[in-house]
Amino acid sequence: MKKKIIPLAKAQFLAQTLKKQRKKIVFTNGTFDILHLGHVTYLEKAKTCGDVLIIGLNTDRSVKSYKHPDRPVNPEKDRARLLAALECVDYVILFDEPTPLKLILQIKPDVLVKGADWKKSEIAGARETESWGGTVKRLSLVDGRSTTQLIEKIKKL
């Protein structure tokens, strides 16, 4: 089995290798904390947009900087391992910034995917992806499925 969790330092080399193999690279990113049906459905849809699905995963420090000091619930190594276990996921790369722009610029995906809850103008790397001929896709989400909702439900118990 290939190693799915790769260091940031190898992201550019991975992308170049995949492009030489004429693989269509799909990229998405997120926290993916408390993995649930909404996440899995979204990632399965993302995978259908190309040949190789690469996930940029926010590090714990990154998540704390833009979500809440108590987040994530699950540490980055656990979140990365859970994502890597999914059949639809080809690679997971941790990044430390609040947005994955630097990682997107290294990978230069053919397709940049985010949830439909994001406006195209708010998607990090959208303009850049289109500048090299890539496309940006906004995918519908599963109603009523979110980590925030799960946390709120647990707090009420």
The series of mean pLDDT values per 10 residues for the chain, 157 residues long, is 86 95 97 90 96 97 84 92 97 94 97 91 95 94 69 73
Our CA angle for 34, 155, 77, nearest 5°, is 25
Residue 92 · residue 104 · CB < 8 Å: no
What span, in angstroms and rounded, lies between the C-alpha atoms of 33 and 63? 10
| Alpha carbons within 13 A on the beta-carbon side of 152 | 6
Domain extent listing, the chain: 8-156
Compute CA 16 distance to the chain's CA centroid, rounded to the nearest angstrom. Answer: 19
Q: Which CATH architecture has domain 8-156?
A: 3-Layer(aba) Sandwich (3.40)
What span, in angstroms and rounded, lies between the C-alpha atoms of 19 and 56? 18
The DSSP bridge partners found for residue 139 are 115
